[in-house]
A and B are shown apart, each in its own frame.
Chain A
Amino acid sequence: MHSGILYSLGQSLREILTSLIGVPILVDLLMTIICATILLLIMATSALVFTLGERKICAFIQVRIGPNRVGPGGLLQSVADMLKLMDKEDIVPRGIDTWLWVLSPILLLVPSALIYAFFPFDDGVILADVNVGLFLLIAITSQTVLPFLMGGYSSNSKYALIGGMRTVAQMLGYEVPMVFALMGIVMITGSLKMSAIVEAQSDVWFIVLQPLAFLIYIITALVESNRPPFNIVEGESEIIAGPFTEYTGMRWALFFLAEFSNLMCIGILTTTLFLGGWHGPDFLPGFCWFWIKTFLCVLFYQWVGWTFPRARVDSMLSFGWKVLLPIALINVLLTGVGIYVYNVM
């Protein structure tokens, strides 16, 4: 029923494992472990790729050259960065709430990694194609707020505290319009299943059917992933680095990793929800289309990020509540009317 290279690869692997082990539950477990490992690897590699990519793209926008010393054309820069971060002294500030402080970066990574299970990379290639996929996805991404607040609260630093509080305020600002914007898609698809959403876009992408929702989504996605112009939580010129002001070395690297994972995550979500996922002309396999679209989305988000100044907290919040939310609600109404008219015709 499914086609595509990745799916058939997975099927043949399952067959090999079945012939080797023979117990279906064990095979399922093993397959899950393999898939999860691959996803984590993708996430880690993406952080490596994006550190360099971000620097190069930022340099291109800022009429600079960017990293060019480590390796040919600066290709190994991210490796050097990683080594540097590992080498750094692990400073634990005085007067912190130790448990919360230590747990914060680790907990932040969990939701960022978890959501990769719900992404359809190709036809049939999805780790957990649950019935409430989109709902679960939004629920999990909202959890990133908590570790930020924990880090900010426990750091015994006023900058971090302000940053932590901003996360919560910001979450209230963007989450509601985002959910209502995605409602339109769910209404058209008639399902919360991620694979069904991609399947529904085999003829027309949702960017055509839901242009308003697309606009709202890209804005809220920028907010959600703390990208400029909405990097209010970090706001490096105001509150140094927000919740992770007091973190160094590998602890800070975990925040960093989560940030890039989130960046790729919003790229993937934009692709999946609005740009037809793995659909594309036949001359390339589905997963290639998926990654091409994802990278173009990421490029777009970086481009926006490096061009705009940072919005202020209050204007972002009032924009979310007073502009985005009404538009999102109108979009839901229009979609409903549209579906009714389509069905009648």
Chain B
Amino acid sequence: MGTYFELDKLDLLKAQFDTAEYDAEQAEPALYIGKEQLLDLMRVLRETPTYSFDRMGMLTAVDYKDYIEMVYSLYSRRYDKWVTVKVKLDRDNPEVESMTQIWEGTNFEERETYDLMGVKFLHHPDLRRILMPDNYEAHPLRKDFVPLEPRIEGGVLTWHKQRSMS
């Protein structure tokens, strides 16, 4: 898929944003950024003519047990380049700026990430569950997920924490 973003440009970004860093030893290093500067970085990546990453290829979150990592894969149709941006989030209260402010098309993917991983997106226009039932209280893709128990209460399907298995 095209070529990876040049390292010297990554260096430029690193100079511009103080929380930006990358592992220079990797062949295709992901750009890590602090969550406060994510929105600004994305704006720069999208709007600077020499970068022009106009496409949010993929957006997801990975649960690494002690933190949650947001992964953004950006693609520039103009230069045929791609770059991965990662943000580490606090696992207990994962919050990050919504990318719908820059790419409107990330709406559903962010809702999915919220639904399955529990990451809250700030300034998202319509942050609701998308795949799981609205009254479901767990986030299935977390590593410590235990399936909830379905029960019918008063004709309504409700979900409850499982009683101990023993």
Touch test A–B (CB under 8 Å): no
